[in-house]
Each structure stands twice: as C-alpha cells, then as structure tokens.
Amino acid sequence: MHASVFHRCTPKLAAAKRTIVGRRWMSVRPMMLDGGANPTLPPRKKVTIQHLYQMRRAGTPITMLTAYDFPTARALDTHGVDMALVGDSLAQVCLGLPSTTHLTLDDMLHHTRAVARGATHPFLVADMPFGSYHASPEDAVRSAVRMVQEGHVEAVKLEGGPEIATTVQRITQIGVPVMGHVGLMPQRHAALSGYRVQGRDAAGAREVLDSARALQDAGAFAIVLEAIPHRLAEYITAHLSIPTIGIGAGPGTSGQVLVWDDVMTRWHGKKAKFVRRFADVGHEEGRGVQTYIDAVRSGSFPCSKIEGYEMGSGEWERFLGEVGDKGWRGTADEVQQREENAHANADGASAPRLAQAM
C-alpha cells in the first residue's frame, strides 16, 4: 500500500469520529439487549395468548412478522411487533432451498433458538416442518415437544384441515399451543399445482371454512389464512371465536403476517401480489457492500487513526530493538515524518511574518 493513502485519514475526519472510538469496541462483544429500545416508551409487556384474544375483542389488529435469526428477532422485539413467526419460509430465504418441504426439524430448531434469544416480548410461534407431524399424532407430539424444549418456542403452527384435527388435539392436550394454517398451504404446493389462491369458488370457499372450523374445534388458539379472497377471510374471521392472521387475505382478519425479507426488499424472487415492501434494505445492503469494496481498494479503509490501535509510548521502538530491526520504517512512519516536516516548515514560514508584525 502506498504511503499516500494515509493522507485520507485527515484530522477533521478523526475528530468527527472521536466519540465513536472512545471505547475499544470489538465486533465479537455481545450487544446490549436494551440498546435499541426507546427510553421514552414504557417497558414492553410480554405478549401472551390472552393478550392476543384481548386485541381481537378490542378490534386492535395483531402484527406478526417472520424472523429467522437473533438480529431480526431483536428488531421485532424492540419495535413492538406482537408475534414473531419462525416460518418454514426460512428454507428459501435463508438456506437457499427450493421449497419448504426440504427443511428439517433440526434446521428449524437451530433457527428458533436464535430467535427465542432475541424476541423476548413477542409471542413466539414456529412452523412444524414438513414430515415432522404427518406420520402419526404420537410422532407429531414428539416433534412439538422438541420444538418447545430444544427450540424454546411458545407455540407451533401446522398446515391442514380436518385431516390434522386429531394431531392438533393431541398436541394441545399436552399443553403446547397450536396455530392452524389454511388456504394456501406452501408445504403442499406440489399437490396444489403451485402457489395458487384458494377458495375462489363456492366449493373451495366452503372447504377453507370447514378446515378453519375443524382446527378451532380441535383446540387451535389462532389460524393463519393465506391467499384466499378477502370476503371469505372476513367471513371466516366473523364466524370463529379465535384470532385469524391473514397473509394475502385482505384487511378483514384479526391481524396480518408477512415475511421479513419481503417487507424489507431483501428477497428478490418472485413477488407475491399480496406483498407490500415497506423498506428497501436490499438496495442499502448493495450500496454498503460496494462502498466497502471501494474503500478497501482505494486505501481509505481502514484508517489507522480512526479504526486502528496503537502501542504504548516507546513500546514500538523497544519491539524493533528486540527483533534487531531498529532501522525498519513502515508506511505510517513515513507519513508521520512528512506531517512533522510540514508542520515544521509552516512554523518556520510564520516566524518572519511574526517578527515583521512586531
């Protein structure tokens, strides 16, 4: 690296960032869990099923977003989201798998643990992966117990209708809350001939309604309604006694859920009609990566005065003496010498002017 790059670390820039480098922060230090909270707001209360029912009765829309890792979970927790869903959509948006059916229970447990550490106030739900609850109710109970004990979730979500009612009942009987999921069921996308809107004719609408009622009767505490006509979703919501969470189901449900990466424009696959992008994080990420590359290649990052560390007074000279290389001079030494010479020349030029003034 040429010595000239060090001139980009100007005293003005160093002064502007002095407050940032006042402490010797390191990237591996644990973050303060309350660091992002707004101190002017009262502390959040833990969201429970009872709170969700109260919100439904009061007509307060319930907010739900997916989270797959600790930082995203912290964002949901800090900014007041009511429910966090570790959705099996992590198969595509996080793991690069072709569909949710490729996700394993162990994959899910790894991510739920991370989210549970960050989302301490939202009610935490996770999808039971494809194959983890289909073989038998007993197999489903074992999987649900692992989700709670190892994954630290508060509830599990299952896709299906009357055919899984017995499974839902068995899981709820052991004390694990179950959220149902009807309408478009991504785990069955092959059987449904793709990701298609459900309930568009009278027979299909009746099937979705019957499925929702069967899950409620089996003990589900809430139901996700995905990709169904908005009138049907409102009708189902009005005829159930439990909250409904819509995704592509219109505004007439008890609440809404979206995938984090869709909301933040970080997923560049096919955009579903029901997705609204609320921030362009993907663009900012791209800009940040490119700016980083440019800074490294231009030599403006890192700057020894701002992002660097120094040795104690005299320790560098002592080190060079111990290794027998006292004459070694690095780029920083050359820059420092030039700066000292420049200051000396400036002081020398100002002396005659000062004498004339006197």
Along the chain (358 residues), what's the average pLDDT of each consecutive run of 10 residues?
A: 49 45 46 53 88 98 98 97 96 92 96 97 97 95 98 98 97 98 85 78 97 98 98 98 98 97 87 89 95 95 89 91 92 76 70 56
Q: How many percent of the chain have pLDDT more than 70?
A: 83
Residue type for position 182: V
75-124 pLDDT per residue, tens: 999 999 999 999 999 999 999 999 899 999 999 999 999 999 999 999 99
The chain-wide mean pLDDT, for the chain, equals 87
CB 225 within 8 A of CB 212: yes
Percentages helix, strand, coil for the chain (3-state, rounded to 5) are: 45, 10, 45
pLDDT for the residue numbered 196: 87
Which one is catalytic: 154, 159, 226, 234? 226
pLDDT for the residue numbered 152: 98
Output the pTM of the full model. Answer: 0.82
Please name the residues in contact with 257: beta carbons below 8 A apart, sequence gap of 6 or more.
Answer: 64, 65, 66, 83, 85, 224, 245, 246, 247
pLDDT for the residue numbered 348: 65
CB 320 within 8 A of CB 311: no
Quick one: tokens of 11? 């005293």
Residue type for position 80: G
pLDDT for the residue numbered 114: 98
Is 310 known to be catalytic? no
pLDDT for the residue numbered 270: 77
pLDDT for the residue numbered 320: 94
pLDDT for the residue numbered 305: 85
Please name the residues in contact with 261: beta carbons below 8 A apart, sequence gap of 6 or more.
Answer: 66, 93, 267
